[in-house]
Structure 1
Amino acid sequence: MTTTPIETAGAGEDDQLSRSAYDHLWMHFTRMSTFETEPVPTIARGDGMYIYDTNGRKYLDGLAGLFVVQAGHGRVELAEAAYKQAQELAFFPLWAHAHPAAIELAERLAHYAPGDLNRIFFTTGGGEAVETAWKAAKQYFKLTGKPMKHKVISRSIAYHGTPHGALSITGIPDAKKYFEPLVPGAFRAPNTNFYRAPEHGDDLEAFGRWAADQIEQAILFEGPDTVAAVFVEPVQNSGGCFPPPPGYFQRLREICDRHDVLLVSDEVICAFGRLGTMFACDKFDYVPDIITCAKGMTSGYSPIGAAIFSDRIMEPFLQGSQYFPHGYTFGGHPVSARVALANLDLFEREGLNDHVLANEDAFRATLEKLYDLPIVGDVRGNGYFYGIEMVKDKTTKETFDADESERLLRGFLSKALFEAGLYCRADDRGDPVIQLSPPLIADQAHFDEIEQILRSVLTEAWTKI
């Protein structure tokens, strides 16, 4: 890893940047009023596992930016790949034309993908990939003589993106209420939050069967002749990293096959090493009909996403005058595609997937040390993707009410963790959780640093309840 000197702004310049950010920059998912009187945290650079603000202060990146920077910050070879490609061909669309970088990346992704998922439709991000998957599923069934199949089933509290179609699939009411009415035809089933499923006791497999069967019940209730697809994340992000119970995806695959419903594996977060495999469906031994992915494909060094389709879905689009009237100007951008290829080369050269598989148990064990704190109710996840659920009472699993959650997460934890040197995510879409998703280069020393900061801040948080 090449380390460069920290370039920081002077105090006056830093204040000016913060003021300009508040005056002109509309930050995403952000309460802008927060920064009317407080400075905007401004990150100037990154190196390896760490990021640095404009004052030169160092923070451990416990979220890989936003589940993105798999290979770590400051990878010069990825920047050089972008520079070289931009010199050769900075841009050309994939509208009835191709370019070498997109062709090579499509072939590479088809090689990694399971089964017959051989057709790659490039986007610029994950929400667009989900949007693409739903539109393609609708048209596929129209082309194959089942025009009523247009609905989708997703899971409670699941996040699938912000475009109107993807937002309709999303299962978070607060994320949708300002934008309704949305695209009709999206329905919800229970997720795999075993911590909040006391009626199943300790039988994780029975819970998994029940959770999968609830999706079948939703299909049957809506009518199998109207349901096109089921959208599920391998490990559900929103709500705090819900892993699938044993056998869950095998049963879900059977259900989808029985009712001729497409199984979409939304791997925008979970693909490209987050769980230790290139595609997360391989970790849990199932073959979907469609994979949506983005984020880690380039380790965040340039934006790109993709929907990956099986040969079966592609087949009717290859006939006669049929085509998919859908696309994005920057989908499969030459620079992004070339960076993705360089990133995948880096994955193989440095064995990042194997590194995650070799260290995931140590990561879990280190986080599980926090169970001795009264505020920690559950530690769950897979690979390098974990959520820590906070509770008021460990015995009863009593959670915080809305006011307490507001004071705990936004009033204290988010700022306190950052000030303590850890960038991560405190979230209450569902029950209050802290989410961790470090770059895939993390090792035991980083796990220990994360645990020590969490221990200190959570101990203080408990005194404020």
Structure 2
Amino acid sequence: MTLAEKPTPSDAAALGRSAADHLWMHFSRMGRYADSPVPVIVRGEGAYVYDDRGRRILDGLSGLFVVQVGHGRRELAEVAARQAETLAFFPVWGYAHPSAIQLAERLADLTPGDLNRVFFTTGGGEAVETAWKVAKQYFKLRGKPAKHKVISRMSAYHGTTQGALSITGLPAMKQDFEPLTPGGHRAPNTNIFRASVHRDDPEAFGRWAADRIEEAIVFEGPSTVAAVVIEPVQNSGGCFTAPQSYFARVREICDRHDVLLVSDEVITGFGRHGTTFACEKFGFVPDLITCAKGMTSGYSPIGAMIATDRVMEPFLADKVTFPHGYTFGGHPVSSAVALANLDIMEREGLNRRVLDNEGAFGATLDGLRDLPIVGDVRGDGYFWAVELVADASGTTLDADQRERIVRGFLPSALFEAGLYCRPDDRQDPVVQLAPPLTCGQAEFDEIEQVLRGVLAEAWSLL
């Protein structure tokens, strides 16, 4: 197709056909678009996006857990334009530029403890990849070269690069790409809804789950384990929270066995739970933080790994290099946008807004428990999941029901009803909700109303 033949934005049908013919979409069954149009989103404003047919859809997932301050913020676009006019690109490979310097200092001020050293990436998976590399080299520099393994949690998602995918605890996501980077090992997650022990005692369950991490470290051999990677609230499987006892015990275990604790905050960071980093809310200080997504509210891509002074210390020795980097890590435009985004969040008190409204959001969604298809509602902050079940005893949907309901019916039905969110069956099937942090009760009610209608219809199809 020549340039002159390419469809214009006003030609909605042609745009959809062109997407089906040329755009390889992520995590998508591309064959399905031979006979059905590709949804095309053309603009966003506040908590809503608009498609090429002019429909307004509530963005109940903040794009992909990203757009903290909402869509259409002219201020962020103007900051990006000014920075591009001044300095559009220069790498941080032995050089620096003002916006990366200022952002690194800002992030160091926002982290708990002495997490003072920021390594920029372009996204979350790269940040996790970087954290594993740092952990491996850190122990080599300390004279413990055998420490290279990582313990993560069952069904947890940490990225798609070969290293991050090894840390990911979803076998189905890995099987097409094996063999992967060796060294990834798993411990149970904190899904108390499906727990076989301590279901009525969250604190005891938290201690039990943490002890399984120590069990994995001991089984693999503490002299071989470099890091434990956990999300403060686990995404995959549907917003698994954990009590304070869990995080305190995991921190103790890592210290006892000289293992680095990594808080993967790619989703949970930047206000999603009412603090800049969720580890602060849940009462633990990690050795490394990985983050991305909400740092710029998606207005420009960036990610980061943030390390403590203790982790950084051996890298400051004479002639030591960390032989790792990304062309666009710490990009001037992205760094400038991140600074402006953090300004907006601070000026509008979005962390406080989440803390003030998280109870109302949870209570609104909790009302869906009267639907027979809803087995559990769980989450924290502006990050919640509704787990779907096949009967009153909590039986999970079988393979056929997942295919028909979770993959076949729900995505299009919710979108057609005016809600973009995430039906997900990488573990037990859930619908995930994570609206922009600017939302309030009006948007919570709209989310609940759409879910109620669509889930009731889904139940009739089971």
TM-score by length of 1: 0.97
- Partner amino acid for 2:160? T
Match of 2:166 among 162, 165, 168: 168
Q: Residue in 2 aligned with 1:202?
A: 200
Q: Does the 8 Å contact 2:374/2:386 carry over to 1?
A: yes
Give the Cα separation in 1 of the matches to 2:245 and 2:298: 33
**Does residue 433 of structure 2 align to residue 429 of structure 1?**
no
Give the Cα separation in 2 of the matches to 1:27 and 1:381: 29
Q: Residue in 2 aligned with 1:447?
A: 444
For residues 255-266 of structure 1, what are the structure 2 equivalents within 5 Å? 255-266=253-264
Number of residue equivalences: 455
Q: Does the 8 Å contact 1:192/1:245 carry over to 2?
A: no
Q: Does the 8 Å contact 1:117/1:309 carry over to 2?
A: yes
RMSD: 0.8
**Does residue 268 of structure 2 align to residue 270 of structure 1?**
yes
Q: Residue in 1 aligned with 2:128?
A: 130
Q: Does the 8 Å contact 1:154/1:171 carry over to 2?
A: yes
Query: Could you tell me how far 1:244 is from its partner in structure 2?
Result: 1.3
Indicate the percent of aligned positions where both proteins have the same amino acid.
Answer: 71
Deviation track 1:231-261 (CA, whole Å, cap 9, x = no partner) reads 0000000000101123110000000000000
Match of 1:320 among 318, 321, 328: 318
Query: Could you tell me how far 1:9 is from its partner in structure 2?
Result: 5.2
- Partner amino acid for 2:395? E
Deviation track 1:291-323 (CA, whole Å, cap 9, x = no partner) reads 000000000000000000000110011010001
Q: Residue in 2 aligned with 1:3?
A: none
Give the Cα separation in 1 of the matches to 2:194 and 2:409: 25
Give the Cα separation in 1 of the matches to 2:127 and 2:88: 22
Deviation track 1:95-152 (CA, whole Å, cap 9, x = no partner) reads 0000000000000000000101000000000000000000000000000011100000
For residues 38-437 of structure 1, what are the structure 2 equivalents within 5 Å? 38-394=36-392, 396-437=393-434
Deviation track 1:124-181 (CA, whole Å, cap 9, x = no partner) reads 0000000000000000000001110000000000000011000000000111111000
Q: Does the 8 Å contact 2:244/2:283 carry over to 1?
A: no
Structure 2 stretches of 5 or more lacking a match?
A: 1-7
Q: Does the 8 Å contact 2:193/2:199 carry over to 1?
A: no
Q: Does the 8 Å contact 1:304/1:337 carry over to 2?
A: yes
> Which SS does the other structure have where 1:454 is aligned?
helix
Give the Cα separation in 2 of the matches to 1:456 and 1:61: 17
- Partner amino acid for 1:185? G
Give the Cα separation in 2 of the matches to 1:163 and 1:390: 30
Deviation track 1:351-381 (CA, whole Å, cap 9, x = no partner) reads 0000000000000000001011111000011
Give the Cα separation in 2 of the matches to 1:198 and 1:363: 28
Moved more, 440-449 or 198-207: 198-207
Q: Does the 8 Å contact 2:254/2:260 carry over to 1?
A: yes
For residues 15-54 of structure 1, what are the structure 2 equivalents within 5 Å? 15-54=13-52
Q: Does the 8 Å contact 2:115/2:288 carry over to 1?
A: yes
- Partner amino acid for 2:243? P
> Which SS does the other structure have where 1:446 is aligned?
helix
> Which SS does the other structure have where 2:35 is aligned?
coil
Give the Cα separation in 1 of the matches to 2:411 and 2:43: 21
- Partner amino acid for 2:407? R
Query: Could you tell me how far 1:188 is from its partner in structure 2?
Result: 0.4
Deviation track 1:308-349 (CA, whole Å, cap 9, x = no partner) reads 000011001101000100000000000000000000000110
Give the Cα separation in 2 of the matches to 1:123 and 1:193: 31
TM-score by length of 2: 0.98
